[in-house]
Chain A
Amino acid sequence: MMGSENRGFEEAHLYASREEMESLVLDDSLTGKSYSDYRSAMSTLSETHHPLSPPIIATPTDTDPLLSPPPPPYSNVSNPNSPSNSYIEPPSYGDVNFSPLDADNGVGVNSIESPIEDLEKSMVLSRSSSSSSEYLKIMVSNPQKELGASNSIVPGGNTYFTYLITTRTNLPEFGGSEFSVRRRFKDVVTLSDRLSEAYRGFFIPPRPDKSVVESQVMQKQDFVEQRRVALEKYLQRLVAHPVIKKSDELRVFLQVQGKLPLPTTTDVASRMLDGAAKLPKQLFGDSVSAIGPQDVVQPAKGGRDLLRIFKELKQSMANDWGASKPPVEEEDKEFLEKKEKLHDLEQQLNNASQQAESLVKAQQDMGETMGELGLALIKLAKFENQEALLNTQRIRAADIKNAATAAVKASRFYRELNAQTVKHLDTLHEYLGLMLAIHTAFSDRSSALLTVQTLLSELSSLHLRGEKLEAASSKIFGGDKSRVHKIEELKETIRVTEGC
């Protein structure tokens, strides 16, 4: 797609030999008039650029002033020729990094003067600040194929790619200033899962998709390249998050050499089995049925403790249908307001994203049809020329050919235009992805709330039982040994639960 550089040269060449085409372009507003306005508007634009020189794009240059400010991590991602073909250098919205709403807002230092980049400040985006005192830069490169040592029934199966992840930083936590590790995609998945466990409530940037494709496709250049790009973007976003970048999980991922352990399976079946194994014990009271405090942090739903799942389910039903109010409620008004707004934003983003997609499609269609018209006309011109008996036919054939050539060129421009459009409108889609992370955070919040509610109600019912038992045992002289034992247990349980 970015062989556009070659096309640019070729076209300039073609164009030079087609001066006759000029005669068709009557409106010579191409030269002169708007150049000056444009120049003053984009003062940083270099002299070598010819915005809309009739009508061919100038030869691509590698240094584009709009992109020159401290090479954001993204400049490594884009192809060398990429934006330089157009007359406007879109200050890559791609440089933008996300930071969550409830994190520290103060980070965004805009060292880059280019005005358009500042556009994307909405949800508090910060640039990769190069002028602030600390930095952490990541580069993903050098994908390599490796063979898996594990059993494979399928011969030649289990090859995978590793990527070289290079980090440059001056943060103290990282000991060194530059280091590299090799990681595979599964490691990234692990990292992402661990982060979402550890940082519930934060808007954690979404990781690149897993792909359910066959191994044939997995090995293709394009796919690997796509993935490399996606990984880089993802890591850069993580690193831009003021809290996450300090996390242990991330540090280990970036720094520790050697293979990372793969996570234990989290599929539903094994969870259920584990849970089912424990359940009878829990019900018969052999083990302490209180939940350990460390477990509270995780939502019950995805876990292995079936008993806990049931308890929380009961609580959520009581919340929805019960007459009594749960002990703790979502009261934060500001939160609720922001939630509404975000919901609204998401809708609009969705809408805009869809429209962007159909815009891109319409542009693509336009380019295609223009090209097809050009081809049909070329065929017509050839035909007329071949069969010409009269001179007037030859003239006509020449006219047709000129128009056809122009049409074909125009179609190429449309294709280029579309490539650019896709690149930039992509940000909309990325935001939509971020919305998903927000949803996760919200659901984390609500499941945490649910857990709290469950525990609180359990606590109160335990207290009640405790009181009843004490009342009962005080009536019976001598007290039942087992009852006493039960009371002891109960008190223990209460203590633990309160701890949670």
Chain B
Amino acid sequence: MITQQRSLSGSSQSPRSPSSQPFLSVSVTDPAKMGNGVQAYISYKVITKTNLPEYQGPEKIVIRRYSDFVWLHDRVFEKYKGIFIPPLPEKSTVEKFRFSAEFIEMRRQALDIFVNRIASHHELQQSEDLRTFLQADEQTMERARSQETGIFKKKPADLMQIFKDVQSKVSDMVLGKEKPVEESNPEYEKLKHYIFELEDHLAEAQKHAYRLVKRHRELGQSLSDFGNAVKLLGACEGNALGKAFSELGVKSEILSIKLQKEANHLLMNFEEPLKDYFRAVQSIKATIGERASAFRQQCELAETIKLKEIDLNKLRLTRSERMADVEDEYEELKADGEEATRRFETIVRLMNEEIVRFQEQKTLDMGLAFHEFAKGQARLANAIADGWRSLLPKLEACSSSQH
């Protein structure tokens, strides 16, 4: 089943009211440096425009920082297993201190895309956490954010599950069952294989794209230096020849600027999308992990249930007083088992839908990226050709004046 194309600003489900389509549009803007030294960070303005009833009013502006986005990502990842959560731009440990304008702009763009993807995903957009993120005041946000650390974010049931996981792992090891349980679904295997290989390919492509940006910068610099040297050389000569050299030098410097511009364009419109693609694939890997662990839980519970059943039957035979307790446990386990199965199956279903959506989206994204790439290169090549071409008559003039 192919999901309908979602536009960036809203769902295409049947309109709630005849007069207005429901929409939710978000933008991340105005990065501003806050704080000093090691504690410095960048804050962003997040502007929400919507007519959805769940939101307070048509427009809301809040201030958020990177770790708030991380919070949103993690919450949504926990709650919506099976869905490919939109990726975040990298958490940088080093560049943070440098905070170049380029870095800030790249991050802003990526964060904007991130939030919008959540807001336009038909399931994710209904998340309460999203609403909190988009609307809560700064203090509430901060509180929510600090609760995210470690164990505290887990509910008691989750905690139990963690213990059980550990327990079963230990017993597995003790019993010699070390191999993790995996699905034996050939189609799914293929998908996993595809994702893992895709990641490698993308890593390489992205690496070269990054280098290409660098080369543009280097060439630009080199051309500028060359132009300078030529101008100095021209200064040694007199008259017409000197002028010719200086024209050459000036033109070189002009073209070098174009190269730098193109380098930036390439960075934002080609390398970034490739990086984004790469991150998206990594996010899929995370979901694959979730599916695997859901499957494991299901299997383990099934095992445990079987064992419990054996236990119960033994007790039935001996008519022991413990039977009632064990019966209760058994029922509980069965409920858990059903829950686990349900969870797993949800993930499987969602993933199937997601993969289709993912592929379509990526085709669009990459199509645009390559388009920009080609356009940029053509533009650059033309500019350079025009530049040199326009130099020729000037050089002509210089040399003819020598006669």
Contact = CB atoms under 8 A, between A and B. Distances in A.
B399 A373 contact: no
B205 A366 contact: no
B229 A351 contact: yes
Label chain B's interface by main secondary structure.
helix
A406 interface: yes
B219 A116 contact: no
Nearest to A345: B236
B259 to A, nearest CB: 9
Interface stretch (A172-180, A261-269, A308-316, A388-396): A388-396
A248 interface: no
B400 A118 contact: yes
A352 B234 CA distance: 10
13 contacts: A30-B378, A41-B389, A118-B402, A118-B403, A119-B244, A341-B236, A351-B229, A352-B230, A363-B219, A365-B218, A365-B219, A400-B366, A402-B370
Contact of A349 (B202, B233, B395): B233
Contacts of B385: 51-52
A115 B395 contact: yes
Contacts of B215: 362, 365-366, 369-370
A115 B219 contact: no
A366 B215 CA distance: 5
Residue among B211, B370, B396 with the highest chain A CB neighbour number at 10 A: B370
Interface of A: 24-27, 29-30, 34, 37-38, 41-42, 51-52, 55, 88, 110, 115-119, 121-122, 341, 344-345, 348-349, 351-352, 354-356, 358-359, 361-363, 365-366, 369-370, 372-373, 376-377, 379-380, 383-384, 387, 390, 392-393, 395-396, 399-400, 402-403, 406, 410
A122 B245 CA distance: 11
Contacts of B389: 34, 37-38, 41, 51
Interface residues of B, number: 64
Given A116-B392, A352-B232, A122 B212 contact: no
Contact of B205 (A38, A365, A373): A373
B310 interface: no
Contacts of B92: none
B400 to A, nearest CB: 6
B399 A24 contact: no
Closest 9 CB pairs of A and B: A118-B399, A373-B208, A362-B222, A24-B374, A355-B229, A403-B370, A396-B363, A352-B229, A355-B226
Nearest to A350: B229
Nearest to B208: A373
B380 to A, nearest CB: 10
B373 interface: yes
A384 B145 CA distance: 39
B197 interface: yes
Contact of A344 (B230, B236, B370): B236
Given A118-B402, A341-B236, A380-B201, 17 more contacts: A24-B374, A88-B388, A115-B396, A116-B395, A116-B396, A118-B399, A348-B236, A352-B226, A352-B233, A355-B225, A355-B230, A356-B226, A358-B222, A362-B221, A365-B218, A383-B197, A392-B359
Describe A's contact surface by its main secondary structure.
helix
B356 interface: yes
B367 interface: yes
Contacts of B236: 341, 344-345, 348
B374 A362 contact: no
B177 interface: no
Contacts of B392: 41-42, 88, 116
B288 to A, nearest CB: 16
A26 B378 contact: yes
Interface in B364-403: 366-367, 370-371, 373-375, 377-379, 381-382, 385-386, 388-390, 392-393, 395-396, 398-400, 402-403
Contact of B378 (A27, A352, A387): A27
B194 interface: yes
B227 to A, nearest CB: 8
A406 B374 contact: yes
B170 interface: no
A118 B393 CA distance: 13
A396 B367 contact: yes
B370 A400 contact: yes
A355 B202 CA distance: 35
Given A116-B395, A376-B201, A396-B366, A351 B212 contact: no
A38 B223 CA distance: 23
Contacts of A383: 197-198, 201
B332 interface: no
A392 B230 CA distance: 52
A483 to B, nearest CB: 62
B137 interface: no
Contacts of B144: none
Given A24-B375, A366-B215, A370-B212, A348 B241 contact: no
A402 B366 CA distance: 12
A118 B209 CA distance: 42
B285 interface: no
A26 B375 contact: yes
A122 B233 CA distance: 11
A383 B199 CA distance: 11
A37 B392 CA distance: 11
Interface in B191-219: 194, 197-198, 201-202, 204-205, 207-209, 211-212, 214-216, 218-219
B222 A355 contact: yes
A341 B221 CA distance: 29
B362 interface: yes
Contacts of A352: 226, 229-230, 232-233
B233 A348 contact: yes
B102 interface: no
Given A345-B236, A352-B233, A359-B222, A119 B359 contact: no
Given A118-B399, A349-B233, A392-B360, A373 B371 contact: no
A122 B374 CA distance: 42
B214 to A, nearest CB: 8
Contacts of A392: 359-360, 363
Nearest to A41: B393
